[in-house]
Amino acid sequence: FVFGMIPKEIVIMLCNHLQSHDVYTCLFLNKELYSIFITELWRSPNLSSDHDIFWLYKHLSQSNHLLCYKIKELHFKCIPRDDHLLDILPLTAKVEKIVIEQAFKLTDRALGYISQHCKQLKHIELQNNKSFTDASTIALGQCPQLSTVKLDQCFGLSSRAIEHLVHLPITHLTMSFTNESAYQVRSLTRLRYLYVTQESSISRWFFVHLILDRATGLPYLPNLETLCFGGGLTDPDAVIPFMDTHPSITGLQMDGELTDQ
């Protein structure tokens, strides 16, 4: 049996199912297992506290860029600040996915750092921030490979924020929208997953603007597969003609007050 022949998918499953201390024990069983597991461990380092961020920065800055190319994901489970990203991002140029569960201490500057240093970014999730402005989406628009954008509970963005993203290959989008936002959303023709998060109810006009291109008679979002609503609907019936004209939709999630009708 040769450890080097283990498929990467199996290695990932092993890492995910083992406790952290068991993974580190496996590292020292032999050289082959070490080379396999160490790459996977560095692929997505644990960032659950300020101490973890400092630890990562320390090791990256001392590695002469050897570790920088291993990191593909940054998942912040703590509450990072702009200066944390300013320290880490220049040392993680190959990162493809960034998730920040509590982003309320970040400003538009943080998104500027991301677009400046993470040109291979494909996936970004930012939650709970009311200070981001359209400058943030302008910055994200400079990440040419970005396909998943989740700005959940980020209510400082205007109705025109999406227009800075329409040139990207976006397939998954989570944002707060107004009726006017629909004009920008319908330009995302590759979209497969749309999650609408709102502080208030969603108007029927949002769907009216999205249904069909009158010039061609075709739906604006022909590839849409999943539609989710994080807020109520002022007129739940408005979603019916939208569903009728988008037969590719296989998943529908509606939160809020609904009746049997």
The torsion region of residue 95 among left (phi > 0), alpha (psi -120 to 50) and beta comes to beta
Residue spans of the domains in the chain: they are: 1-43, 44-255
Find tokens 């939650």 and name the residue.
127
What pLDDT is stored for residue 93 in this prediction? 87
Are the C-beta atoms of 118 and 94 separated by less than 8 Å? no
For 199-244, how does the pLDDT look when each residue is reduced to its tens digit (9 = 90+)?
Answer: 566 777 788 888 888 888 888 999 999 988 776 666 767 778 888 8
Euclidean distance between CA atoms 172 and 156, whole angstroms = 20
For 150-163, how does the pLDDT look when each residue is reduced to its tens digit (9 = 90+)?
Answer: 998 888 888 889 99
For 115-141, how does the pLDDT look when each residue is reduced to its tens digit (9 = 90+)?
Answer: 999 999 999 999 999 889 999 999 999
**The CATH number fitting domain 44-255, selected from 3.30.429.10, 3.80.10.10, 3.40.50.2300, 3.30.413.10:** 3.80.10.10
Residue 256 has pLDDT above 80, yes or no: no
Q: Mean pLDDT over all residues of the chain?
A: 84
What pLDDT is stored for residue 200 in this prediction? 60
What pLDDT is stored for residue 191 in this prediction? 95
Q: Cα dist. 219→166, 176, 190, 213 in Å?
A: 17, 22, 12, 6
For 177-203, how does the pLDDT look when each residue is reduced to its tens digit (9 = 90+)?
Answer: 776 788 889 899 999 999 987 656 677
Residues whose CB falls within 8 Å of the CB of residue 75, separated by 6 or more in sequence, listed in order: 44, 46, 47, 97, 98, 99
What pLDDT is stored for residue 69 in this prediction? 79
For 244-255, how does the pLDDT look when each residue is reduced to its tens digit (9 = 90+)?
Answer: 888 889 998 876
What pLDDT is stored for residue 132 in this prediction? 92
What pLDDT is stored for residue 28 in this prediction? 67
